[in-house]
Chains A and B, each alone.
Chain A
Amino acid sequence: MPEDKKEIVGYRQQPGKLDFTRPGSGGSSPNSEKRDPSMIPQSQGGELDQPWGPHRHDDLVTGRIIGKRTPLIDSRWKVTGQAVYGDDVRLPGEIIGRLVRSDRHYAKVLSIDMTDVESIPGVLATATGIDAPSAFGVLPVTKDEHAMALEKVRHIGDIVACVAAEDEETARLASAAVRIEYQDLEPIFDMRDGLKDSPDPIHDRDIYHIGESNVQKRVFQRFGRISDLKNSIASYENEWTFKGVNHGFTEPHAVVAHWDPRGRLTLYTPQQVPHYVHRALADVLDIPMHQINVHRTYVGGGFGGKSDPFPHEMCAAILARKSGRPVRITFDREEVFWTNRGRHPSRISMAIHADKEGRFSGIETDALIDGGGFASFGHVTTYYNGVLHTAPYEIGAFHYTGARVWTNKPASGAMRGHGAVNSRCAVEVGIDHISEELGVDPIDLRLANLLPPHSATITGFRVTSIGMRECLERVRKESGWDKKFRKMPLGKGIGVGCGFFISGSGLPIHWDPNKFPHATVHLKIDMDGGVTIHTGAADIGQGSDTVVGQAVAEVLGLPMDMIRIRSKESDTSPVDLGSYSSRVTFMNANAAVSAAMEVRSELIEAASLITGVEASCLVLGDRRIFNKKDPAVGVSYLQALHKAQEDRGALIASGSYRTPPMGKMHKGAAAGLAPAYSFSAYVAEVDVDIETGRIKVEKVWAAHDCGKALNPLSVEGQIIGSCHMGLGQVISEEMKYGRTGNLLNPDLLGYKIPTVHEMPEVVPIIVESNDPEGPFGAKEAGEGPLLPILPAVCNAVYDAIGVRTNELPLTPDRLYRSIEKACKQQGIKDPRDLPNPSLEQTPLSDILIRRAKDHAKRDRERRLNPNPDAYYNGQLFNRHDTGPPEENDPDWTVQVLPDQEYLENPKLAGSAWLHKERRHMEGVE
């Protein structure tokens, strides 16, 4: 380009009067690239096919980066070993903290004697519960944790005291020298015992305590035409047992606390939710939040296990304050298991009913979940075990009773697929059983019972985009389902399972969503043209930094190397709720888009001033703003930027996101409410060794509706990773408690995460249902993909050997027990002689196939219609027209408290309602 050369010569002659051009136009390639029409949506005159209709962000698409396979922007730090994780933080003068943990299951702490500790040379600080008596907890309604035990310890591994010393060896020596006097209390390990009255409930909720029991939370919900359940012609009823599982992340918890010379605390911690730690630290340390900087380090895996504010984070801060030195605490693996917050062990009674037309007349679920020693996220989990299986199927009635109890074990909490995984598995296995009873193909049965797009579930969740049908159709086709199902030899099988998950929790925990946004993103662009994004969203390896960068780069037409993310420190990031409930892509990228839109319009305004072209005719391309009717007329991004910066300097913009008003008003209506929902369907093929009970999962076809794959590379990664994690829960992983109540396998040899040998080939299939409110149509892909693998494998095992399971993990010994039982029932000596299940289709099949076809047409029309009619769950049963059923159907039940009739014969978790809250007892005011 000869012109460029002339300008460079001129640069010396005319200092201060030259535009930035090359080099300096930004990005790694010197020249602006042409627009790629295949990346521009049809609605904008491009060639990008839009089978699900246009999207509100279509006009922001520059075709640069959204939808392209993009390596995560922090990946080079990780693969070169330069990423600083929790335990990599090294500050001058740091010392080592060590926690003193309970060796009792349940006991009163009578005294703590530090005499021997203080005489050890090198010990610099010690602390006990009285140093920080304020309670904290991730949910404001259930703050039941302390930095260290105040009066009693609630499980082996509960923290009693802490010490800090010059080095690790001294710290370990010191922690062993603390003398603690306990008075043992009667521990409980079986969650069923938690429902009973106890002489010493594990926590005391004062007047809100439920009887004298260990029930922490109970839920009762009854919706729909309960009376119809009697008319069902096929039913599935089973009692499930699910063992607890742990996240099994690679990086153990680690924290460094440092009080700087001005008296401000910086806490370095691999946290999914830095903001909640920020709040909890302020409470526990009794200092204002502005005196604290929470620095999120790189996170070596979280999966929900690093989203609570933790006692060890408090302990580090307390020890650092006492010693005046930075304090580092890193966990051993067994401490990770004692901290846990993994998936709740649960006992789920699942009943599903279908009527003669193959419709699901109702689901009745009773879920007792084992919370361990603390509340954590359990309040929400108790709801999720029920409400998250009210879709994707249209159901006639829904009855859920749930209870969470405290036991003397490490606390359960949130884990990938929070609260939805176990009951979803039971539902999907139930549907498989029902299709067997009805004599229909389970995929046909599902396809004929799906909620349409833009509908409301039975409890009133607003569902927008739904790609469920496409997921099922794709896995059916790609797996060769029709040729394999019930047609493979004994020992080989294929099974299907579906999933449904929230894309961001609709309600922020700490504030009114109408007053304060869920997510905020700030942008700053200075003369160099690079964009600095300030966000509080915690990148925990899922790629949230990348996705927010992509959103901004797309809108501004910039290459990724011009994007810089500052998401680590609370000092510089706007408040964000953190990485949980699969909210980040949906909420944070939406906030980023709106911030970028602000900058975009300033750039267009400036370009319009330079070129004289009307702003409405200008579009953004690669580092260029030009007239869409005459692309030759335009200015470079930097020219426009510098014009926009005249008289004011750096551009700054702020964007935020909050959920629209939605949902109903009954008690618990907010639990499970989300601005969008993801859907998925998996088919798994297995090989079962019928003589040993060993399952080998051979191949998985995994379809997930994520709305729009902003980065297909990471969506596929999430799908494959979810498969691996869910596979662990279905074939091998469990937290194993021995007869003494001790956790027997708090290590990665005993805790059986599937190895590469167990991992099947996964065929990820991305379905894009174009969510109207998601950023560029996107929904979550981080948690939902985990759900279907469990039932898909269980159902495939049935297809292989005709044995149904009701217990996970399905380890060989458990499956073998079921095989033996089946042999005994059928009078067979050798399991190799078990009959191979087969399917003889009944006439109902044709009815279902026809209905599915009609529904497919209905759904296509609804998704393309910008203003579809309201659709409420229940219309499939022709009971009411288009209005809400509770207003039109006199037999429609909405009930959130049990009646006397139920209490006469409650189910297991439902029996929690036999207790009265103390405040409702006689003699209590």
Chain B
Amino acid sequence: MKTPAFEVHMPKTLDDALETAKHLHEGGHDFDWISGGTDLIPNYKWGINPKPHVISIFGVSELKGISATRIGAMVRLQDIVESTVAHPLIVEAAGTIASVMIRRSGTLGGNLCLDTRCFWLNQSETWRKSIDYCHKCDEGTGADCRVIPNQNELCVATYQGDLAPALMCLDARIHLASHRGTRSMLLEDFFQEDGITRNVLETGEIVTHIQLPENSADFIGSYQKLRLREAWDFPEGGVAFSVGISADGTVSTINMASTGFESIPRKHIELIEALDKGPNWALEAERLGAELKRAVRPVLNTWFPPAYRKKMASVLARRAMEETSKRVTSG
């Protein structure tokens, strides 16, 4: 494998970085941001949308730093795993990602902006030629979608990041910056349902950090991940669940979010709204699981067949709830 040549830009400050992006954009140059590179570089090697310019935000100190309520985009995943201040639910989800070695390079921002994945996409150029190319990454070939033929409106490549559902369950806000200024939103509003667009980021815009509510320490939760092997594998389905405990010990909020089933991670607000928030909330695990199973719509483009992943959604949801309940009880 040979990585296509690209020019690397290494800004030292956030302003520098945004300025570089602006400059490249105005000059008509295509570019990508690179943080840990564990997702981008393999894709480049396979000829999946390589760009001639890459802006590395490795040296941008504003993007670093981790506290109980704020995690910078450039914080490495393994630093989250080893952190004593990060929320346990985030630590748990981060600990399931890939392997220690990859986590030592991969970052929070990179994981949230993970490119979507598909059997027909994550292949070499020679391979993709043999299926007459892929709709997502071989623009200009007029290729059809290979997962759901005869449509090239929507890309159904699967989002397989682990952190997003955990952060959604903590009501995290994601903060973005570009040369036009900054903005922030709830994490669930960051993602856009299309395997190509993926999220709201505009050209030249980057994720700076995520912010958790001040009371996030009152949230207790669990993340359950479906995969074939306990290392390396992306989630074939992942469910995070959390409850917010009030000062009087009652449950004030309940959250559930999933990943790995569709082209975006999803917070299941409607399912939760119907849930009894009384002291017996945990008894609803079985029913909630069944409802999540109905709600998710996986397609045949990852390792496990969609029918199995759908069935497992209910097991994952139930286990996430049961585990949370156990953790609430044990304090």
- A residues sitting closer than 8 Å to B (CB atoms) are 101, 103-104, 156, 168-169, 172, 332-334, 691-692, 732, 736, 738, 740, 742, 744-746, 749-750, 752, 754-758, 811-813, 816-817
Contact B315 A692 (CB under 8 A): yes
Bound Cα distance A156, B132 (Å): 13
Contact B126 A101 (CB under 8 A): yes
Contact B1 A752 (CB under 8 A): no
Q: Which of B178-186, B212-220, B225-233 contacts A (4 or more CB under 8 A)?
A: B225-233
Asked whether any CB of chain A lies closer than 8 Å to the CB of B305, the reply is: yes
Contact B2 A742 (CB under 8 A): no
Bound Cα distance A744, B305 (Å): 13
Q: A332-B124, A812-B304, A816-B311 are in contact. Are A755 and B230 (CB under 8 A)?
A: yes
Bound Cα distance A306, B129 (Å): 28
- Taking a contact as CB atoms closer than 8 A, the residue among B126, B231, B304, B315 that contacts A757 in the complex is B231
Contact A692 B226 (CB under 8 A): yes
Bound Cα distance A749, B232 (Å): 7
Contacts of B126 in A (CB 8 A): 101, 103, 334
Please report the total number of B residues contacting A with Cβ < 8 Å: 29
Q: A691-B315, A812-B304, A813-B308 are in contact. Are A754 and B124 (CB under 8 A)?
A: no
Q: In the complex, what's the smallest C-beta–C-beta distance from B7 to chain A, in angstroms?
A: 16
Contacts of A817 in B (CB 8 A): 308
A-B CB proximity, top 7 nearest: A757-B230, A813-B308, A103-B130, A755-B231, A103-B129, A744-B119, A156-B130
Contact B130 A104 (CB under 8 A): yes
Asked whether any CB of chain A lies closer than 8 Å to the CB of B303, the reply is: yes
Contact A334 B230 (CB under 8 A): no
Which residue of chain B has its CB nearest to the CB of A731? B228
- B residues sitting closer than 8 Å to A (CB atoms) are 1-2, 5, 99, 119-120, 122-124, 126-127, 129-131, 146, 226, 228-233, 303-305, 308, 311-312, 315
Contacts of A752 in B (CB 8 A): 228-229, 233, 303
Q: A104-B130, A692-B312 are in contact. Are A813 and B305 (CB under 8 A)?
A: yes
Which residue of chain B has its CB nearest to the CB of A171? B2
- Taking a contact as CB atoms closer than 8 A, the residue among B232, B303, B304 that contacts A755 in the complex is B232
Q: Identify the interface centre among B131, B228, B231: most chain A CB within 10 Å of its CB.
A: B228
Contacts of B233 in A (CB 8 A): 749, 752
Bound Cα distance A740, B233 (Å): 24
Contacts of A736 in B (CB 8 A): 303
- For the complex with contacts A103-B130, A813-B305, 15 further pairs of A-B residues with Cβ separation under 8 Å are A169-B2, A169-B5, A172-B2, A692-B315, A736-B303, A738-B119, A742-B131, A744-B119, A754-B229, A755-B99, A755-B229, A756-B231, A811-B304, A813-B308, A816-B311
Contacts of A104 in B (CB 8 A): 130
Contacts of B231 in A (CB 8 A): 755-757
Contact A758 B127 (CB under 8 A): no
Q: In the complex, what's the smallest C-beta–C-beta distance from B131 to chain A, in angstroms?
A: 6
Contact B228 A811 (CB under 8 A): yes
Contact B232 A816 (CB under 8 A): no
Q: In the complex, what's the smallest C-beta–C-beta distance from B196 to chain A, in angstroms?
A: 21
Q: In the complex, what's the smallest C-beta–C-beta distance from B114 to chain A, in angstroms?
A: 14
Contacts of A742 in B (CB 8 A): 127, 130-131
Bound Cα distance A168, B230 (Å): 36
Q: In the complex, what's the smallest C-beta–C-beta distance from A180 to chain B, in angstroms?
A: 11
Q: In the complex, what's the smallest C-beta–C-beta distance from A172 to chain B, in angstroms?
A: 6
- Name the prevailing secondary structure of the A interface residues: loop
Contacts of B226 in A (CB 8 A): 692
Contact A740 B131 (CB under 8 A): yes
Q: In the complex, what's the smallest C-beta–C-beta distance from A334 to chain B, in angstroms?
A: 6
Contacts of B131 in A (CB 8 A): 740, 742
Q: In the complex, what's the smallest C-beta–C-beta distance from B158 to chain A, in angstroms?
A: 14
Bound Cα distance A754, B305 (Å): 20
Contacts of B1 in A (CB 8 A): 332-333
Q: In the complex, what's the smallest C-beta–C-beta distance from B222 to chain A, in angstroms?
A: 16
Q: In the complex, what's the smallest C-beta–C-beta distance from A154 to chain B, in angstroms?
A: 14
Contact B228 A812 (CB under 8 A): yes
Q: In the complex, what's the smallest C-beta–C-beta distance from A635 to chain B, in angstroms?
A: 57
- 19 A-B residue contacts at CB 8 Å? A103-B130, A156-B130, A332-B1, A333-B1, A334-B127, A692-B315, A738-B119, A738-B120, A740-B131, A742-B131, A745-B303, A746-B123, A750-B122, A752-B229, A755-B99, A755-B230, A755-B232, A756-B231, A812-B308
Q: In the complex, what's the smallest C-beta–C-beta distance from B150 to chain A, in angstroms?
A: 15
Contacts of B308 in A (CB 8 A): 812-813, 816-817
Contacts of B127 in A (CB 8 A): 156, 334, 742, 746
Q: A692-B312, A813-B304, A813-B308 are in contact. Are A758 and B232 (CB under 8 A)?
A: no
Bound Cα distance A754, B312 (Å): 21
Q: In the complex, what's the smallest C-beta–C-beta distance from A68 to chain B, in angstroms?
A: 36
Contact A750 B2 (CB under 8 A): no
Bound Cα distance A754, B232 (Å): 10
Q: In the complex, what's the smallest C-beta–C-beta distance from A580 to chain B, in angstroms?
A: 30
Which residue of chain A has its CB nearest to the CB of B5? A169
Bound Cα distance A752, B233 (Å): 9
- Taking a contact as CB atoms closer than 8 A, the residue among B2, B120, B230, B315 that contacts A758 in the complex is B230
Contacts of A103 in B (CB 8 A): 126, 129-130
Contacts of B305 in A (CB 8 A): 813
Contacts of A156 in B (CB 8 A): 127, 130
- Taking a contact as CB atoms closer than 8 A, the residue among A172, A334, A738, A758 that contacts B229 in the complex is A758
Q: In the complex, what's the smallest C-beta–C-beta distance from B310 to chain A, in angstroms?
A: 11
Q: Identify the interface centre among A103, A168, A746, A758: most chain B CB within 10 Å of its CB.
A: A103
Q: A101-B126, A692-B312 are in contact. Are A168 and B229 (CB under 8 A)?
A: no
Bound Cα distance A816, B237 (Å): 16
Q: In the complex, what's the smallest C-beta–C-beta distance from B314 to chain A, in angstroms?
A: 9
Bound Cα distance A54, B101 (Å): 53
Contacts of A755 in B (CB 8 A): 99, 229-232
Q: In the complex, what's the smallest C-beta–C-beta distance from A791 to chain B, in angstroms?
A: 21
Contacts of B304 in A (CB 8 A): 811-813
Contacts of B232 in A (CB 8 A): 749, 755
Bound Cα distance A509, B303 (Å): 40
Which residue of chain A has its CB nearest to the CB of B316? A692
Q: In the complex, what's the smallest C-beta–C-beta distance from B231 to chain A, in angstroms?
A: 4
Bound Cα distance A861, B201 (Å): 80
Q: In the complex, what's the smallest C-beta–C-beta distance from B106 to chain A, in angstroms?
A: 14
Q: In the complex, what's the smallest C-beta–C-beta distance from B20 to chain A, in angstroms?
A: 27
Which residue of chain A has its CB nearest to the CB of B286? A830
Contacts of B130 in A (CB 8 A): 103-104, 156, 742
Contact A334 B124 (CB under 8 A): yes
Which residue of chain A has its CB nearest to the CB of B129? A103
Contact A757 B229 (CB under 8 A): yes
Bound Cα distance A752, B304 (Å): 12
Bound Cα distance A811, B233 (Å): 14
Contacts of A740 in B (CB 8 A): 131, 146
Contacts of A745 in B (CB 8 A): 119, 303
Which residue of chain A has its CB nearest to the CB of B319? A691
Which residue of chain B has its CB nearest to the CB of A739? B300
Which residue of chain B has its CB nearest to the CB of A693? B308
Bound Cα distance A758, B230 (Å): 7
Bound Cα distance A758, B227 (Å): 12
Q: In the complex, what's the smallest C-beta–C-beta distance from A31 to chain B, in angstroms?
A: 48
Bound Cα distance A736, B226 (Å): 19
Q: In the complex, what's the smallest C-beta–C-beta distance from B243 to chain A, in angstroms?
A: 23
Bound Cα distance A398, B122 (Å): 47
Contacts of A169 in B (CB 8 A): 2, 5
Contacts of A811 in B (CB 8 A): 228, 304
Which residue of chain B has its CB nearest to the CB of A740? B131
Q: In the complex, what's the smallest C-beta–C-beta distance from B3 to chain A, in angstroms?
A: 10
Q: Identify the interface centre among B122, B130, B312: most chain A CB within 10 Å of its CB.
A: B130
Bound Cα distance A334, B312 (Å): 31
Bound Cα distance A736, B305 (Å): 12
Q: In the complex, what's the smallest C-beta–C-beta distance from B4 to chain A, in angstroms?
A: 9
Bound Cα distance A794, B83 (Å): 41
